[in-house]
Structure 1
Amino acid sequence: MFRRRTALVAAALVTAGLAGCSGGAAPTVGKAPEDPPKATTAAPRVPAGHAPTTSFAVGVRELKLSRGGDRPLPVTIWYPARGAAGGTPERSAPAAAGRFPVVMFSHGLGGRPADYQLLLRRWAAAGFVVAAPTFPHTGAGGDGNPLDVLNQPADVSYALTRVLALDRKAGDPLRGHLDPERVAAAGHSAGGVTTIGLFTAGRDDRLDAGIVFAGTALGVGTAFAGAAAPQLFVHGEADEVVSYAAGKAVYDAVPWPKAMLSLPKGDHGRALLSDGTALRVVADTTVEFLRWTLYGDATAKRRLPADATRGGLATLDDHL
């Protein structure tokens, strides 16, 4: 049902083209320039280091936020927790020892953070705090207005500020466990548009890396700005909602270290929403990317191509 809703509202997004929003000139559509910029080769901005080598138990909690009276932004947070790894996430479990990078995740149209928990829990178990807002208009139960996607990069930046503030909040269970200098953004479909926007028109300079799942640059353009932030694109070549060509055009325009994981039989969301071999390839590849970009772990970068192509389910265009 979620995938069907996503397809319908994403089709509306494409049809609307996000043109004319905010009363200004029509926003730039995600199109590769005639001469795509050549990717630069650079190490992550974070210092070289080593990611955790063992898995964590996972805790989960909710943070009730609002960016103004008409923009409630409840945030679901998955985080490394004390206890034995591999079980069901425990609500409000004590955080594991250590300071962990933060990943902001944006859901697709008609979705909610819980739809992606199979993937996001794996990120948390690998040593990342994952914070996922539910957007007021494009989330499940909202009015489904696709044009509101243009407001979502600012929502994510606001939520990031509030999440990072927990590291200094007296009495908060995550106090002293968040690393504000190691932050990434990721998102699927309309959440992919949101994520691209955080590196273009709505550039958040705190972000060190991005992961775009089945995204397009409709409304947010391809004018990537600020310091180099490595990007990983994940796209199914059989995507029935956002064409593979549209995602590839944005990827081609990225001027920073980048890679694109392509799934020849992948559709718009199955590899993210359903457990199976495709999800394992996507999860392992994205974990290695985050280990490299947020922990500065060079060995993770060397492992990434093998994880991406294991089982012949995907190919990797690697310019990291």
Structure 2
Amino acid sequence: MRGQRLVAALMTALLAGCGPAVATSDPVPAGVGPAPERSYAVGMRQFTLDPDGRRQLPVTVWYPATPSSPGPPTSASATASGSPRAVPASPGPARGPRVRPGAPFAAGRFPVVLYSHGLRSLPALHAALTSRWAAAGFVVVAPTYPRTNQRARAFTREDVRNQPADAWRLIRHLVRLGARPGDPLGAHLAVDRFAAAGHSAGGHTTLGMFASGQSSPLRAGIVIAGGRMVAGPSRPLAPMLFVHGSADRIVPESIGRAAYARCLGPAAFLSLTGQGHGEYLTPGRPGFPQVLDTTTDFLRWTLYADRAALHRLPTDATAPATTTFTTRALPT
């Protein structure tokens, strides 16, 4: 009954659109189980939202899965020096998890991260990051936006302004699935714990989901190489993490910094020294271990109330001559 009441309350908030989101020092509800201490195997599924509608939305889902065979737990994420982390978060930076299409879900419900791709991109091109988040205990849902993806027949960058609404349509669908007893996907979604993330135009989309004056079940946001306002003024109250290359010529770092300055709640900014629009998202490239560890621990803090992960953020993000890290109003 408690779960049904929670889903009903979330649906009311999503459909009514009244009242701003409220940020807290621990942005998850009481009673949430501890963050995973070991990595999961990773499964992948796909479905299409509104297949007969005007804006069909193919969706790729990466999720914690049962292991393919018995064996010891997979190792934790490693630091840049290769030393194991005290609390496992995700597979090592260079070698990601093996993704098994259709693999059975791991037992339990997991927080949900909605990931938005950039212009002329696809969810699959971001699997290096999204699959590692799934291994760390998150369900990652990634829509393919109809007019900006790599295969769009009528590509137009102006359609980015419509993408926050697409993303909300997907969230409403997931909340409904969470209310269906025994639904193969919804049964594993913690629909009280959503975050949004995205790269480039997907970062703009993410920020647009926090448009001022709208109610929001989103507990956190990660904006990678983005920051333009596409759906009205955005002054997020929820915790926000910005990731940006200092030499980005496509979306200058100043745009991300301006969005960071507008945040009304806790915020952090990870800058990749001398890097451009996203090479730091590639395993083996400078900065990838810092991006992986910082984003994973940010999600562990905001979606699992893992205070140890919060305290690790400065260490996660620090690599001499590779990164700089600044914060505003993060709890201690």
Instruction: Please confirm whether the aligned pair reaches a TM-score higher than 0.5, indicating the same fold.
Output: yes
Structure 1 residue corresponding to 2:45, chosen from 44, 61, 67 = 61
Alignment check: 8 A CA contact 1:191 1:215 kept: yes
Q: Deviations over 1:161-183 (max 9, x none)?
A: 22333334455433421101110
SS class of match (1:181): strand
Task: Name 1:102's counterpart in structure 2.
Answer: 112
Greater RCO (Cα-Cα under 8 Å, separation 6 or more): 1
Q: Deviations over 1:99-138 (max 9, x none)?
A: 1000000000000000100000010000000000000000
Task: Name 1:146's counterpart in structure 2.
Answer: 157
Alignment check: 8 A CA contact 1:109 1:144 kept: no
Structure 2 residue corresponding to 1:173, chosen from 184, 187, 190 = 184
Structure 2 residue corresponding to 1:230, chosen from 239, 251, 258 = 239
Cα distance in 1 between the residues matched to 2:283 and 2:224: 15
Cα distance in 2 between the residues matched to 1:94 and 1:232: 31
Amino acid in structure 1 at the alignment position of 2:55 = R
Moved more, 179-188 or 135-144: 135-144
Alignment check: 8 A CA contact 1:201 1:220 kept: no
Unaligned ranges ≥5, structure 2:
1-22, 69-73, 75-95
Alignment check: 8 A CA contact 1:62 1:74 kept: yes
Q: Deviations over 1:227-267 (max 9, x none)?
A: x3100000100101000111101111111100000111221
- Quick one: structure 1 residues 117 and 275, their matched pair in 2 at CA, closer, same or farther if it must change by over 3 Å? farther
**Is structure 2 residue 300 aligned with structure 1 residue 291?**
yes
Task: Name 1:23's counterpart in structure 2.
Answer: none
Q: What is the TM-score normalised by the length of structure 1?
A: 0.81
- Quick one: structure 1 residues 131 and 204, their matched pair in 2 at CA, closer, same or farther if it must change by over 3 Å? farther
Structure 2 residue corresponding to 1:205, chosen from 197, 203, 216 = 216
Q: Give the aligned CA root-mean-square deviation in angstroms.
A: 2.1
Task: Name 2:86's counterpart in structure 1.
Answer: none
Structure 1 residue corresponding to 2:199, chosen from 175, 188, 194 = 188
Task: Name 1:43's counterpart in structure 2.
Answer: 26
Task: Name 2:315's counterpart in structure 1.
Answer: 306
Amino acid in structure 1 at the alignment position of 2:316 = D
Amino acid in structure 2 at the alignment position of 1:71 = R
Unaligned ranges ≥5, structure 1:
1-39
- Quick one: structure 1 residues 296 and 134, their matched pair in 2 at CA, closer, same or farther if it must change by over 3 Å? same
Q: What is the TM-score normalised by the length of structure 2?
A: 0.79
Q: After the TM superposition, which residues 67-82 of structure 1 pair with which residues of structure 2 at under 5 Å, given as runs?
A: 69-82=53-66
Task: Name 1:163's counterpart in structure 2.
Answer: 174
Cα distance in 2 between the residues matched to 1:100 and 1:69: 29
Residue 87 of structure 1 and its aligned partner are, at CA, apart by: 4.2
Residue 276 of structure 1 and its aligned partner are, at CA, apart by: 3.1
SS class of match (1:271): helix
SS class of match (2:113): strand
Cα distance in 1 between the residues matched to 2:309 and 2:195: 16
Amino acid in structure 2 at the alignment position of 1:156 = A
Percentage of pairs with the same residue:
47
Number of residue pairs aligned between Structure 1 and Structure 2: 279
Moved more, 231-240 or 156-165: 156-165
